[in-house]
A and B are shown apart, each in its own frame.
Chain A
Amino acid sequence: MISQKNPLENVIDTLKERAKELNCLYSIEEALNDRNLEIEQAFQKVVNAIPPGWQYPDVCEAIVDYRGQRFKTSEFKRTSWMLQSQIKVQEEIVGKIEVFYTEERTPADEGPFLKEERKLIDYIADRLGHYLLHRNIREIFTNIQTVKESISDKEKGEWRIIVDLLRRTDQNLYIRVSRKMMNYLSWHGVDEAQNLMQQSTSSRTGIDSGDEDEVNRPQRKTTMRNIMQISDDIFDIAGKHLTAQEIFSFVQKWIHEDKSSFLIRTLENQHSSLSEISEALTRYQHLAPDGIELSDSTQKAMNVLLIRRFFTDQLEFINIAKNYVTVTDFHDLLRHLVYPMNSQGKLGGKSAGLFLAYKILCRMGERLDLCSDVGLPKTWYISSDGLLNFLHFNNLEEVIEQKYKEIDQVRQEYPHIIQLFKNSQMPSEIIQGLSVVLDDIGDKPIIVRSSSLLEDRLGSAFSGKYKSLFLANRGDKETRMEALLDAIAEVYASTFGPDPIEYRASRGLLDFHEEMGIMIQEVVGKKVGNYFLPAFAGVAFSTNEFRWSPRIKRNDGLIRMVPGLGTRAVDRLSDDYPVLIAPGQPGLRVNITPEDVIRYSPKKIDVIDLEQNTFVTMEYADLVKEVGDSYPALNKIISIAKDHHIQQVLGFVEDFQREDVVVTFDGIVNDGKFLQQVKTILDVLRQKLDTPVDIEFAHDGKKFYLLQCRPQSFSQDSVPVPIPREIPEERIIFSANRYISNGKVPDITHIVYIDPAKYTEVEDLEELRLIGRAVGKLNKVLPKRRFILMGPGRWGSRGDIKLGVSVTYADISNTAVLIEVARKKGNYVPDLSFGTHFFQDLVESSIRYLPLYPDDDGIVFNESFLNRSPNILEELLPEFSQLNEVIKVIDVQKATAGSVLRILLNADLDEGMGVLSAPSETLDIYSAEEYQMVTSSDENWRWRLSMAKKIAAELDAKRFGVKAFYLFGSTKNAIAGPGSDIDVIIHFSGSAKQKKELDLWFEGWSLCLSELNYLRTGYRAENLLDVHYVDDEEVKKKSGFAVKIGAVTDAARPLPLKNQKE
């Protein structure tokens, strides 16, 4: 029963011991950091702090002996149970620490003492050594300062006082400084100095003449006396050529540089660990808490080293960051960094981006109020090698091989990996660190986020691929620690999840080392009722890629905002809408009519439920009814809908139970300050980082908090696509040069083109409506996101149908792009709608919008292609054949012998283009990543095809009364995606009993296929097998699905059955 304790209890025991140690160290640090204490006072405090750190504090006594001075605990007496450590300053032994047990205790590692206690006493001795060194150095500085003050207005020559002082106190330093002076004088053409230099060089090398280089013999050592003499001479020369002020400031600068060189050396050493750096930084801070006056170049060099060490080697980042960070920042950062022993890790991309952005804003805050009013939530970091350390500690290294396994295996094993990680132990130094984190953050909710090193690689949009976990962080410390460790394990495990692995595989990043930093961030917000939430939160972009009005410029930016936690703004939602605002044009709202404002307002809110200790999504209206006015900044967020009227709330809401509350953020828009602040922040960051940015923020009702910052090009919709220049004109279907946003739409197989000229000629209102209905049908028939809709004027116009095809969102929901064509009428070009009628639906489902102005100069609009290509409308929808003249449906692959349409958009150039691309060229023009996309989507249909063949081959035609098995739809057309179903037509002529059996048979297959598909792709699609029955009658008449059998286009493909003769 000895070690029946569960891992957690062990952890806690260890923790208690660690806590003791930590407390001891804290008290010592406190004493040593107090600059008001004299050495004697500080030492006494240190001695008193020692016993509580030992295993048996009640019998523990300690003594410090420093150059004969003794400091001891009150009951001090010597015994034979003793632990000792020497105090050294620059390798000179200046004293010792001794710890005694006054009574006998069970023998442990070193007498009755634990090995941890040996470490502890050594550390304390070491620490005292540093302390003494710093004090000495500080004294020198103070002396120099005093001299400097007294010297400034005195006679020339008095600089000698300081040089003498230096000569007496620190000879080595004196020599180094004099050497620098010699260099300086020589560079400035002082002959005497040059002579002296030659002299000293030759005297050093011991060679009189000629070939000074390539000497293999050891150099003869110059005696100290000699060197001192030369040094003295140098200063004599300097006295002749430079002013007192010059000499003085040089000397001072060089002393400073010399004193900081240890930090640079530590940083330059590739192998120095984070703890060594931490120590060096602390020492540096102690040396001159107000910062040492260093030359610009030294300062920059130091910054660069620090940035490289903590963040990244990426030159773009370093180039900018070096101007905004200071050594002190890193000192602060280190105090919030948890890292394993001998760590050489970094902080990861997310942390780096946030840190730099915040520093830039702080710097700008000196001039711009709006920037200074930005908060950063309390953030702690775990260094990126924490993950590997964790794996080693638990002997889990083989998990790394996971990434080379088949994706279905990865998916299958992933849940076990999570459990395995959760049941593994965190190394003790990490637990110690986290204990401090929890003490610092208290019981405020926290979010544990990944900060992967992969994230700072350009073009790798890892957002959302790794986990972020919210913790309510309630309960006693043990509970909170348990939850935190669990969360970290889970975030670590997510590195080995199927999504990131698949993603990495597709980007060729699989072999990149697993390193993942972790950010532990206090959640911004307020306790409201039983919930914890920020007033509102969201994301903001420098450039607006979804403009709903031509008056909005790209640079006006875009904010996606929701009440509560920002999770609902970050992701594209299918069941709800965030509020969209262009901070540069806050007056131009997406939704104008009260109905639209209500329809497209956020209805749900993500919060942390403090009672249930979880993250929950709830109805916003319910929450407001429950908590009412205690919701922070409520009247800035909501409006009241009443009588077809949306009223901004003034003062307070009368009755939350009765009023119709709508989230509009009207208060915020009208107040202006918040939007101006976001705009300023976006502008500043964009300017300083030299790239459009994408930030996450939260607002607690009083203050703006920055949560994340990264280049906007990292987010999915915002990559400008190169526009090819030497494309033969006949391959361009259209070009565009107005209101372009970034992005590309690959592999369009069908174009639905409503001929603008023909559309205007339609006289009959009913026929105009019919066109809308035909589009709605096409939307269901054509392959999803593989076709585009091109039509005149304003799609979805509700009032005057002449202006554009009358459709609702449901009629266009599967298109990849919605294109509005503005043809000149007489001498004016009609306004386009910019998709306003369903704008937010387009945004949330990533349907692109593109306006075309064919009559502009230099624009290509290939009408002959659109008009002359074979129109397959009649074949697809025979019932709409009378609309043949107006609606053109083009099967691009057929019309061009295999090409697809590709739409390339580059907002930076304000150019867009629809190009016919042969699939073979595709692979050359496009990046590897797209190639991956093509092949992996290829796999989806190939797999489906082979499964369909297998099923057909297994299907006993006689037993089930089946005459034929046909495949159609996405699988047959080689466009099936991971969520597509397999469309099958069964020509059936059996009995009812056979039908029942067949149904059952197919159901079994369908279930199996769904599961297999899930394992392969992670898509949960039910009823993967979509079986449509046709009977003899239908086949004869070609009605129902039988129309597909032997059809002219897109005919269903027959597959051979079991027991069936060809």
Chain B
Amino acid sequence: MADKSFNPFAMAQAQFDKVADILNLDTATRDLLRYPMREYHFNIPIRMDDGSFKVFRGFRVQHNDSRGPGKGGIRFHPQETIDTVRALAMWMTWKCAVVDIPLGGSKGGVVCDPHNLSMREQEQICRGWVRQISRDVGPVKDVPAPDVMTNAQHMLWMLDEFEAQHNGKFPGFITGKPVGMGGSLGRTEATGYGVIFTVREALRELGMHPEETTASFQGFGNVSQYAIQLYNQLGGTVICVSCWDQEDQTSYSFRKKDGVNLEELQKISDKFGGIQKNKARDLGYEILPAEAWIEQDVDILVPSAIENQVTAENVTKISKQVKIIAEGANGPTTPEADKIIHERGIFMIPDFLANAGGVTCSYFEQVQSNMNYFWEKDEVLGKLDVKMTAAYLAVSALARKRELYMRDAAYVISVSRVAQACKDRGWV
């Protein structure tokens, strides 16, 4: 029974309905926002390397563009369904709105498994995708980006095809390009810095001084490393970091009570943030079990590894001292755990606010591409600070005013911004 199974679009609609109830939205607005504005379904015929032909199924869903051109990734997924793409497009609408950037929500994809395709075939799919939809996307209509199984290379092929179709140079058509080919500086730092910009504001609101705080991080990837860097610059002390150990196929927590040294850890870690256990021990770190990071007596917890890490089982181990949890990863907290955190009154900075630095930087990339003028890194990060701080303040103000949990407040604010734009345009 296919309709009985888990449906991501139905789930996204249910989430929206909850917020719509809080906002008391009218039926027309609900109807408009519950479904995408437009959907494109098309065929992409490809001549394969062996000479045979194969037809791939492509999609683009534009959920809402009331606040600006659509923005969203292109997924190459072997069992892509339109409902997944719809749900993700809607999610993009809220994500752009919460940081208040003038972009709407879209998502696209092709049903294919790149593991079964050569690079040439993938290139043909990228070009085929653009050919099919080039009239309905573009720098001022809908801006694609990399997503599952697509990367900078795919973006460049798509850009090239788009420019060939439109007879000109339009770097703002797509984001996720390499630096020097229309990419933006500061992209690597953006998410991690973004997390700490929101943490900094949260501390200020709680009347705490960063230099007097301690934090524990889950994960030592890109996000964590830059977050720790900025947090240290603010004067904070990280006493525990956990990371995945490829050799032992398990995680460990690395603790140094007087503060971990970011540079020394970076020197002994691999490209994926795997810290070498033995070298860390030599440097005086305690090697603790995987979950030790969550039990530390710190003020701030930053889960920035993967989803579903704070669960009903381990949420009880969170120290009484913890005041703030900033979700650097996507969905690190399970709903049950979230409920308990809410009850305990720990201040939660939800993922789609805390890690919105990435999407904000994509927006900057598009802006720079459209101008064909590229900022220095400082400028990118400075503007990021402004955007993130403003976004945070708006959400927390709403949370206080309406006595909402931060996660709900973030949701409410983004839906209301989109609904307002639709209203203002006279759509509903």
Contacts and interface: CB of A to CB of B under 8 A. Distances in A.
Interface of A is mostly: loop
Closest A-B pairs by Cβ, 5 of them: A587-B118, A645-B152, A810-B249, A643-B178, A549-B116
Interface of A: 548-551, 574-575, 585-588, 590, 592-595, 598-599, 603, 641-647, 660, 760-766, 768-769, 793-794, 798-803, 809-810, 813, 825, 830-831, 833-834, 836
11 contacts: A551-B116, A587-B117, A588-B116, A592-B114, A594-B151, A645-B153, A760-B5, A763-B4, A766-B336, A768-B6, A809-B249
B178 A766 contact: no
Contacts, number: 111
B116 A550 contact: yes
Contact of B77 (A799, A813, A834): A799
Interface of B: 1-2, 4-6, 8, 11, 49, 75, 77-81, 84, 113-121, 146, 148-149, 151-153, 176, 178-179, 183, 187-188, 247, 249-250, 270-272, 308, 334-336
Nearest to A879: B313
B308 A803 contact: no
Contact of A769 (B11, B187, B308): B308
Nearest to A662: B271
Nearest to B247: A575
Contacts of A802: 5-6
Contacts of A825: 2
B79 A644 contact: no
Contacts of A761: 1, 4-5
Contact of B2 (A592, A647, A760, A833): A760
Contact of B84 (A585, A643, A793, A800): A800
Nearest to A836: B115
Contact of A765 (B2, B11, B116): B11
B89 to A, nearest CB: 15
Given A551-B116, A593-B151, A769-B308, A762 B79 contact: no
A695 B188 CA distance: 43
Given A587-B49, A643-B152, A549 B115 contact: yes
A799 B75 contact: yes
Nearest to B250: A810
Given A766-B335, A830-B79, A643 B115 contact: no
A763 B5 contact: yes
Contact of B79 (A587, A763, A831, A836): A831
Contacts of B116: 549-551, 588, 831
A803 B79 contact: yes
A297 to B, nearest CB: 46
Nearest to B153: A645
A825 B1 CA distance: 10
A781 to B, nearest CB: 15
Given A587-B49, A765-B11, A801-B6, 8 more contacts: A587-B120, A590-B115, A594-B151, A642-B179, A644-B146, A645-B153, A760-B5, A763-B4
B117 A588 contact: yes
A789 B119 CA distance: 32
A644 B115 contact: no
A574 B247 CA distance: 8
A763 B6 contact: yes
A574 B119 CA distance: 29
A643 B187 contact: yes
A598 B270 CA distance: 11
Given A593-B151, A645-B153, A831-B79, A766 B115 contact: no
Given A643-B152, A660-B271, A799-B148, A765 B6 contact: yes
A588 B118 contact: yes
A471 B114 CA distance: 44
Nearest to A813: B249
A281 to B, nearest CB: 50
Contacts of A643: 152, 178-179, 183, 187-188
A586 B146 CA distance: 25
Contacts of B334: 766, 769
User: Which of A641, A800, A813 has the most chain B CB atoms inside 10 A of its CB?
Assistant: A800
A825 to B, nearest CB: 7
A710 B271 CA distance: 38
Contacts of B11: 765
A548 B115 CA distance: 8
A764 B6 contact: yes
A631 to B, nearest CB: 20
B187 A599 contact: no
A550 B77 CA distance: 16
A1043 to B, nearest CB: 17
Nearest to B336: A766
B258 to A, nearest CB: 31
A798 B118 contact: no
A574 B249 CA distance: 11
Most buried by A among B5, B78, B115, B117: B115
Given A599-B272, A643-B187, A765-B11, A587 B115 contact: no
A641 B75 CA distance: 21
Contacts of B113: 549, 831, 833, 836
A149 to B, nearest CB: 58
A765 B79 CA distance: 17
A744 to B, nearest CB: 26
Contacts of A592: 114-115, 149
Contact of B178 (A642, A799, A833): A642
Contacts of B77: 799-800
Contacts of A586: 118
A549 B121 CA distance: 15
A227 B336 CA distance: 113
Contacts of A598: 271-272
B20 to A, nearest CB: 21
Contacts of B49: 587
A549 B5 CA distance: 28
Nearest to A809: B249
Contact of A794 (B78, B84, B187, B271): B78
Nearest to B49: A587
Contacts of A575: 247
Contacts of B272: 595, 598-599
Nearest to A811: B249
B79 A800 contact: yes
A313 B328 CA distance: 69
Nearest to B177: A643
Contacts of B118: 585-588
Nearest to B112: A831
Contacts of A768: 6
Given A592-B149, A761-B5, A645 B249 contact: no
Nearest to A551: B116
B174 to A, nearest CB: 14
B78 A831 contact: yes
B115 A834 contact: yes
Contacts of A769: 308, 334
Contacts of B179: 642-643
Contact of B6 (A550, A599, A762, A794): A762
Max count, chain B CB within 10 A of own CB: residue among A574, A593, A793? A593
A644 to B, nearest CB: 5
A587 B122 CA distance: 10
Nearest to B251: A810
Contacts of B6: 762-765, 768, 801-802
Nearest to B152: A645
A831 B80 CA distance: 11
A592 B308 CA distance: 25
A1034 to B, nearest CB: 19
A794 B116 CA distance: 14
A644 B117 contact: no
A587 B121 contact: yes
B362 to A, nearest CB: 12
A588 B115 contact: yes
A267 B187 CA distance: 76
A660 B247 CA distance: 22
Contacts of A799: 75, 77, 84, 148
